[in-house]
Structure 1
Amino acid sequence: MKYDLWQRLFTRFLETFHLKRFFERHRSFKEMHQSSYAKEIGQTLSQQLKVHAQMETGELLEKLHTEQDGLTEAQAYLQQQTCGLNEVAQEKPLTWWQHLWYCYRNPFNVLLSLLALVAFLTDDLTGGMIITVMVLLSTLLRYWQESKSNKAAEALKAMVTNTAMVLRQKVSTQDQILFKQRYGVEVKQLKSTQFEMPIQYLVPGDIILLSAGDMIPADCRILTAKDLFVSQAAMTGESMPVEKFAIPNTSDIDSPLELDNLLFMGTNIVSGTARAVVISTGIQTYFGALAHRVTATDHAVTSFQLGVNKVSWLLIRFMLVMAPVVLLINGFTKGDWGEAVLFALSVAVGLTPEMLPMIVTSTLAKGAVFLSRKKVIVKRLDAIQNFGAMDVLCTDKTGTLTQDKIFLSHHVDVLGKKSHAVLMQAFLNSYYQTGLKNLLDVAVLEAVDQDMKFEKLRFKKLDEVPFDFERRRMSVVVRTPQCQVRMVTKGAVEEILKVCTRVELQGEIKALTADLRRDIEAITQNYNREGLRVVAVAYGDFNTVQENFSVADENDLILIGYLTFLDPPKESARPAIQQLHAHGVSVKVLTGDNEFVTQKICYEIGIAHDKVLLGGEIENLSDEQLKDAVEQHTIFAKLSPIHKERIVDQLKANGHVVGFLGDGINDAAAIRSADIGISVDSAVDIAKESADLILLEKSLMVLENGVLEGRRTFANMLKYIKMTASSNFGNVFSVLVASAFIPFLPMLPIHLLVQNLLYDVSQIAIPFDHVDEEQLEKPQRWQPSEVGRFMVVFGPISSIFDILTFCLMWFVFHANTPEHQTLFQSGWFVVGLLTQTMVVHMIRTKKIPFIQSCAATPLLVMTVVICAIGIFLPMGPFANYFKLEALSWTYFLYLPFILFAYMCLTQWVKRMYIRRYGWQ
């Protein structure tokens, strides 16, 4: 209601001064410009991409000055000089002067600059210099802090680089040395013509190799492809992957994204393999051009920024109301409207939370440095506060709750008897596949002996059908020593059974009957209940000779047996889960694995395991039904990527702040959808790109540290906001009372400015302050209404003692005439500054300050220093410069009693407040 009222008043203000039409024209011009720019980009790129898609391979390679085996290092370097780095527009940092201007251009600094200008024009050089110093300090401190944190963030992000597999004409040792000298990075050479390099150094004409899990690093034309499926959801919004080919199957396409022999930067390979030539990089790509246009528009406001903005505008609206009231009261009562305007402007400056951006940045940067020591790379600083607000963590199972190392425990036939034939067929499948080898494949390859490794030489690979998340199986086709064509398939038991019609038992082939199927399901479920993962192995022999095999050939297969894998839980998993639960974070497991294995693992690490929701059941639930289901279940098994994303979305719709930890292709959508996406440095490219945080150590203990640091960060930001709000309200209330009853200004503009400058400097140490353990127990969220209530309750406390000081100076020290106003102003200056500085310690904790909870040393030191400066200014040699006057020694007899009484009353009100409203 209050927000709507302010919005209507602001709109009326714009209409009154004919500003609304200007803003509307500006917005419509901006939208028109962006629309025409988008149209121009669309037409130009569409034409270029269609030309590249329709060219013959030889013609295209000739145009790009490359060959089938890639560029030479010299050619690539020349291309680099022409095309620049393969980076999109938003990755370019601001120049130093742009950053400095960004740090200055806020309403508070503009207001201070206007005040300084007025002071210089009225020959108030001292006041003008002080205000100028205040502006410079505010701007330079923020610039220095943000520059330092940005450099730290860039250095941390540089630790995690996305790479591409590149073909170059034979690279010599000298070429590798030159590459490092030019770009400052080393390349990882895999073969004589094949090496891995950071994607930013790709150039048009480079030949790259792609496989499942890779993010496509540039716009490319496919040269060869095998069962290639690409997710273009980032570009088109389509949830299902599309198949791509070297030879286009479509014509008369309007949209370049529908061209099926082109790959686009920012999309990712779901399954299959390809070799492609880079046709454009950086902002010349379709994604880069769109990103360049997006930089001209405003970034979406995050929930963290929204919370900060709400609190800031609460204080600013308060200033916009109270400053005119101060102006009118002083103007009418004193008759000097010029002085009243200056005083009102000074009050407005004193009320503005000009240090809020710097305090926020400092606390977030400190959090980022802390997490970096815990092996966490913070890609987005705002994510730290979201970490502290998180109350639900969704995580995958393998490698997070369990060890990254999976062991092959059994290789058995259909009836559960040990079988070397099953291991041999599984070995051929794992060895010859060229897609993304998972931990199961690695376990199989490590389990075989030397004899079996030599046996594979008798087989020749002919083809393969790569794994995808819909089939959950993969096949390789080999020629056996008997010259027979055989397809060997392994995958999830239920998926393998779908394509099997027979089984092999003790060398005999038998039909897969219903009874036998039930026996198979019982055997595999028994393994699952023991916490073992089961993979089925099948094969099929072909009499006909064919060059290409596809999913359609995976039928009428013969089930030969199973592999069982042991993935034991990490030793740190159970204590980490207990710590997260103790801090108010519930953990939910989202996995594509079966429910029995997942339940066994969850039982061992202390996660509720009695209720399981399967992906097939989720398919039949509406969004409303799923909203209830996600609250009741902690285990979600047999999920597809779409299921994971739906669960995260429904948890968010229920009001939770959701984190998601994953590392696979199938986790990317959920990571992007979560409030805080978390991945690991060993994750696939698309998962790392989607994440806000990247863990260099895949451990839940690291997450628990991050949650606590996020809450510390939030608590320290809230301290400054509470102190600013309550102090500002108290000061204005005191000014109103004094202005109404005292025949002179209770404090000069320069006094208000110096007081505000000193007070703000004392707050620089807040990011390094301690936080009580009680404040770390529960998730913390922004509550602007709580800040408003806190301001109204605690602000008037300081006004009580301000008024007491007025009476002291008026009646005891007889500073009650315009001739003695300097003495009056000096007395209030000292009390005002000391109470404002002391209140930091009173409201930084719900406990008794200095006794039950003591501030960190930096904050204590800053408090003592600022209080000493506040007393020194009127008593020292600079008093005349600041229009202050030395106070008598009897004043300092009263001062401790005023401060002590202020602290006692604040503590008493705090206890009453906590009893009724609690303490955030």
Structure 2
Amino acid sequence: MSAKFYQESTQDVIKQLRGTPQGLTTSEAQTRLKEDGPNALPAGEHLSLLQKFIAQFKDLMILILIVAAVVAAIAGEISDAIIILVVVILNAAFGVFQETKAENAIDALQKMSTPTTNVLRDGHVKQISSKDLVTGDVILLEAGDIIPADVRFLKTQNLKVEEAALTGESVPVDKNSETITDDSTVLGDQHNMGFMNTNVTAGTAEGIVTATGLQTEVGKIADMLNNAKPTTTPLQKNITHLSKVLSVLVLVMAVAIFLIGMLTHRESTLDMLLTAISLAVAAIPEGLPAIVTITLALGTQAMVKRNALIRKLPAVETLGATEIIASDKTGTLTKNQMTVEQVMIDGQLVASKDFDKADSAPLEKAMILANDAQEGDKQELLGDPTETALWQFYINKGVSIADFKAKYPRINSLPFDSERKLMSAVVKENSQPVLYTKGAVDELLARTNRILDHGQVRPITDADRETILKFNNDLAKQALRVLAYAYRPLAADEAHSSDSSRVEQSLIFIGLTGMIDPPRPEVKAAIKEAKQAGIRPLMITGDHKVTARTIAERLGIIEPGDEDGAITGAELNELSDAELKDNVEKYHVYARVAPEHKVRIVKAWQAHDKVVAMTGDGVNDAPALKAADIGVGMGITGTEVSKNAADVVLADDNFATIIAAVKEGRKVFANIQKAIQYLLSANLGEMLTLFLMTILNWAILTPVQILWINLVTDTFPAIALGVEPAEGDVMKQQPRGLHSSFLSNGTGSNIIYQGLLEGALTLGVYCLGITFPVHQSAALVHADALTMAYITLGLIQLAHAFNCKSLHGTIFKSGTFANHYFNWAIIVSTIALVVTVFVPQLNPIFHTTELNRMQWGIVLLAGILMVAVVEIVKFFQRQSNK
């Protein structure tokens, strides 16, 4: 809204909007509709499936793979080319599928609009499509309606509006038409305004439309979603960086080998070209996108079993990098269900779990009978959350609400209103009409002259009042919502009176209850585990600061006494983006915030290079869910908007599920890192072997040998590493951070020394084959040595796969062979490699010869040395880390 209509009187608002109390004329409404457009949220422009598909090929790794496929086809390796292209196409198709689903966020916002509205047109009430509403229209609302546009209330009667989806307020808000003077009032405190797509839970109202479509508060959220720039996940950044490094390295090595071979005149131009091309194909881990996709997909399946539904595959890995979890309070950290927590009766405060209903029949009657809640067809409780909480309190203690109400039939009621802040019901009790009242403590005490004390009625004293007010203050400081209860037998002529000033007098005070939306029981332990894992949890809520602080202290999000750790939306408005960035590390709790505040908070943390996860369930959370590195929506209480804007949806709305998902995300990253270490060290070993063989003018491996080693060693073992179980300390490590990569944590140096080791062992075996020949013919000696080098290069890579099961941990521990997929992958790959030597018919195809026992012994010794040397290095790495 350009104007602050909540600050203006109803007469000024009507005048400013060029309306009348009797509504607009039909002709004027049609004119405005043509000028302003329909009261709907426009859908964003969606790309066609073909455009989306083409866009997937902008990724550098994909382009490299396409080049690799062309090179493989030129080299005659048609099967390799086909496999590479299949991987590329599958990745592109999956990307299109995910992108199409993500576009549902704006569409879901559109579907939330109410279809029809009662409006005053030409002085008469008409029912029209909500899309035809214009500013200046006067609309009529009642309980059960969805407010179709932003409105300034002109008249209200006992009006309550549930705004949790927009403001995060956990209970319905009392609304009125009184002017607000504060010019910095946040949405949750604008009690004379109604907002599009919020729900009327009680009362009636007449309001004038102040904004429609994109100009509404929900419309602004839709616009923010529509214009939000897609974020790049840490996984995508890592893969892009790795692709650039690989492309440069492979290009330099392939060109160097080709030029050296040509300058030394050792092979023909065609042979050296094929060798360089084969090396390029082998050096580029074309299986990496498939391995990453498979690992992420398997991680997705594991998360589904833990009730975390992944909408975008990279989100699996991003979860593992999370450093900040900014969580909505209502329904995420709390149950989103008001609950009676404390009861004050007979001058004592009793915890609800210790309360014996037999001790106070009058309190039971007041809480159940002075209540307008209802039981649904499936015995669910319907109505105001405060009133349903009172019923649930007694249902939990074995009371049948239906039987109780039947025993004490209602004969009259005095509805709640915001002026007297009381609600009363008159019931028939043993043929005697009795009034039961509940409401605000101060208002009820003002009408009380007696008190129920251990079953006896006596006059109330000043000391009694002081005690009651002290309990009220103590409960309020705990952020509990306090209600007081009283009763009075009525005379027959008072039973049907609607005059509250007459019947709500000379009341007998019964007691108090304190209610709150309590924390979910499992969340406290989850937050403790998050902190141990180096993750900082934040609470972001539309609730009041006191309530938010109380819940945050109970959960361990904020330390008791940390006065600077909580901030309100109004206080945030006083901070510039630069000031918020400088001070954001102080705050743990954000209260009374608006949607734009949530986005600012996320971006302030991102300005510190933190990986931010944002959880939420309301429409108000959607922009921040998209702005965050990882958006986590709630599957049960969440709106379609928030779920479609999220990367991850929790099927059980359980904060603890996020921590389980983080653990899975960390495991996924570690497994991808293990696969990358395995693939790149193996490919580096191959490149170094060929490079040095070329420089030293030795016989070099043939293109078919290079490609076969690449095929049997790079596929199944690498994929199997992607399903390794999580290591024991995965949730005791600090988050790896935004600037970490797959080459971090010593992985890059591991790849280099392990690649050098593989190359050295292969060349060493070749030298031994030449030094200790078993044939007299020089040609056969070189053929044997080349065969030994070929089979060694393949087998040490398979042996090295065991090293890669842990970056720094030893393989000599229980669980090394627990991954059955890995065990079978090694067995199948080993057989596929050695048959090219053992089967005589394959020798000519793979340019191999039969080896004797001594030669096989040398080959196997090289494999053992590969494991032993890496284990020794790991030992010293662990000692260094200590």
**TM-score higher than 0.5:** yes
> How far has the Cα of 1:377 moved from its partner?
1.9
CA pair 771-461 structure 1, distance change in 2 beyond 3 A: closer
Q: Please tell me whether residue 826 in structure 1 is matched to residue 787 in structure 2.
A: yes
Contact 1:100 1:139 in 2 (8 A): no
Contact 1:334 1:743 in 2 (8 A): no
> How far has the Cα of 1:350 moved from its partner?
1.6
* 1:39 counterpart residue number: none
What is the letter of the counterpart of residue 128 of structure 1? E
What is the letter of the counterpart of residue 527 of structure 1? L
Contact 1:593 1:637 in 2 (8 A): no
* 2:593 counterpart residue number: 640
Contact 1:822 1:883 in 2 (8 A): no
- 2:715 aligned counterpart, secondary structure: helix
Bigger Rg, which one: 2
* 2:530 counterpart residue number: 580
| Consecutive unaligned residues in structure 1, runs of 5 or more | 1-53, 65-84, 120-126, 170-193, 195-201, 235-242, 246-260, 466-473, 482-487, 509-514, 539-558
Match of 1:904 among 868, 874, 882: 868
Q: Deviations along 1:212-255, whole A, 9 cap, x unmatched?
A: 99999x99999999899999x99xxxxxxxx9x9xxxxxxxxxx
* 2:729 counterpart residue number: 774
* 1:239 counterpart residue number: none
Match of 2:388 among 442, 445, 456: 442
> How far has the Cα of 1:710 moved from its partner?
1.0
> How far has the Cα of 1:355 moved from its partner?
1.8
What is the letter of the counterpart of residue 280 of structure 2? A
CA pair 410-607 structure 1, distance change in 2 beyond 3 A: closer
* 2:238 counterpart residue number: 307
What is the letter of the counterpart of residue 80 of structure 2? I
Aligned equivalents of 2:849, 2:709: Cα separation in 1: 17
The structure with higher relative contact order (CA 8 Å, sep 6+) is 2
Match of 2:752 among 792, 804, 812: 792
CA pair 490-393 structure 1, distance change in 2 beyond 3 A: farther
* 1:659 counterpart residue number: 613
- 1:334 aligned counterpart, secondary structure: coil
Contact 1:146 1:361 in 2 (8 A): no
> How far has the Cα of 1:872 moved from its partner?
0.6
> How far has the Cα of 1:506 moved from its partner?
3.8
Aligned equivalents of 1:594, 1:310: Cα separation in 2: 44
Aligned equivalents of 2:800, 2:776: Cα separation in 1: 27
Q: Please tell me whether residue 835 in structure 1 is matched to residue 835 in structure 2.
A: no
> How far has the Cα of 1:583 moved from its partner?
3.6
Aligned equivalents of 2:647, 2:31: Cα separation in 1: 41
Percent of matched pairs sharing the same residue: 20
Alignment of 1:311-390 (within 5 A): 311-334=242-265, 336-390=268-322
> How far has the Cα of 1:775 moved from its partner?
3.4
Q: Deviations along 1:250-294, whole A, 9 cap, x unmatched?
A: xxxxxxxxxxx9999xx98899999999x999xxx9999989998
What is the letter of the counterpart of residue 576 of structure 1? A
* 1:135 counterpart residue number: 84
* 1:729 counterpart residue number: 684
Q: Please tell me whether residue 875 in structure 1 is matched to residue 806 in structure 2.
A: no
Aligned equivalents of 2:603, 2:623: Cα separation in 1: 11
> How far has the Cα of 1:726 moved from its partner?
1.9
* 2:770 counterpart residue number: 810
Aligned equivalents of 1:456, 1:59: Cα separation in 2: 48
Contact 1:166 1:206 in 2 (8 A): no
**Range 673-682 or range 804-813, more displaced:** 673-682
* 1:626 counterpart residue number: 583
Q: Deviations along 1:634-671, whole A, 9 cap, x unmatched?
A: xx375434766655554444454333444356655654
CA pair 626-894 structure 1, distance change in 2 beyond 3 A: same
What is the letter of the counterpart of residue 752 of structure 2? V
> How far has the Cα of 1:145 moved from its partner?
8.1
Contact 1:598 1:637 in 2 (8 A): no
CA pair 703-105 structure 1, distance change in 2 beyond 3 A: closer
- 2:77 aligned counterpart, secondary structure: helix
Alignment of 1:147-546 (within 5 A): 164=112, 299-334=230-265, 336-397=268-329, 399-403=331-335, 405-408=337-340, 439-444=385-390, 458=412, 504-506=447-449, 522-528=470-476, 533-535=480-482
Contact 1:115 1:342 in 2 (8 A): no
Aligned equivalents of 1:209, 1:223: Cα separation in 2: 10
Aligned equivalents of 1:673, 1:579: Cα separation in 2: 25
CA pair 367-526 structure 1, distance change in 2 beyond 3 A: same
CA pair 805-820 structure 1, distance change in 2 beyond 3 A: same
Contact 2:309 2:651 in 1 (8 A): yes
Q: Deviations along 1:871-905, whole A, 9 cap, x unmatched?
A: 11233255256342222223212221111112111
- 1:770 aligned counterpart, secondary structure: coil
Match of 2:719 among 735, 756, 764: 764
- 1:774 aligned counterpart, secondary structure: coil
**Range 400-409 or range 515-524, more displaced:** 515-524
Aligned equivalents of 1:520, 1:140: Cα separation in 2: 72
> How far has the Cα of 1:113 moved from its partner?
3.1
CA pair 455-349 structure 1, distance change in 2 beyond 3 A: same
Aligned equivalents of 2:510, 2:271: Cα separation in 1: 95
What is the letter of the counterpart of residue 389 of structure 2? A
CA pair 567-894 structure 1, distance change in 2 beyond 3 A: same
Contact 2:56 2:95 in 1 (8 A): no
Aligned equivalents of 2:679, 2:732: Cα separation in 1: 25
Q: Please tell me whether residue 887 in structure 1 is matched to residue 850 in structure 2.
A: yes
- 1:679 aligned counterpart, secondary structure: strand
* 1:9 counterpart residue number: none
What is the letter of the counterpart of residue 790 of structure 2? F
Contact 1:602 1:608 in 2 (8 A): yes
TM-score (norm 1): 0.62
Contact 1:166 1:209 in 2 (8 A): no
What is the letter of the counterpart of residue 242 of structure 2? V
Number of aligned residue pairs: give it.
Answer: 721
* 2:121 counterpart residue number: none
- 1:677 aligned counterpart, secondary structure: strand
Aligned equivalents of 1:808, 1:419: Cα separation in 2: 97
Q: Deviations along 1:397-445, whole A, 9 cap, x unmatched?
A: 55555555533367889x999998999899989769xxx9674353146
**Range 681-690 or range 700-709, more displaced:** 681-690
* 2:629 counterpart residue number: 675
CA pair 134-524 structure 1, distance change in 2 beyond 3 A: same
Aligned equivalents of 1:789, 1:288: Cα separation in 2: 47
What is the letter of the counterpart of residue 132 of structure 1? A
* 2:811 counterpart residue number: 849
Aligned equivalents of 2:59, 2:551: Cα separation in 1: 54
Alignment of 1:685-696 (within 5 A): 685=639, 686-696=641-651
Q: Deviations along 1:753-809, whole A, 9 cap, x unmatched?
A: 222122222222232222321234324433345443332232211111011022023
Contact 2:281 2:707 in 1 (8 A): yes
Aligned equivalents of 2:51, 2:99: Cα separation in 1: 13
> How far has the Cα of 1:739 moved from its partner?
0.4
Q: Please tell me whether residue 742 in structure 1 is matched to residue 697 in structure 2.
A: yes
What is the letter of the counterpart of residue 721 of structure 2? I
Q: Deviations along 1:660-695, whole A, 9 cap, x unmatched?
A: 444356655654554333232233424434433222
**Range 577-586 or range 725-734, more displaced:** 577-586
Aligned equivalents of 1:833, 1:777: Cα separation in 2: 36
- 1:908 aligned counterpart, secondary structure: helix
Q: Deviations along 1:41-70, whole A, 9 cap, x unmatched?
A: xxxxxxxxxxxxx99669999999xxxxxx
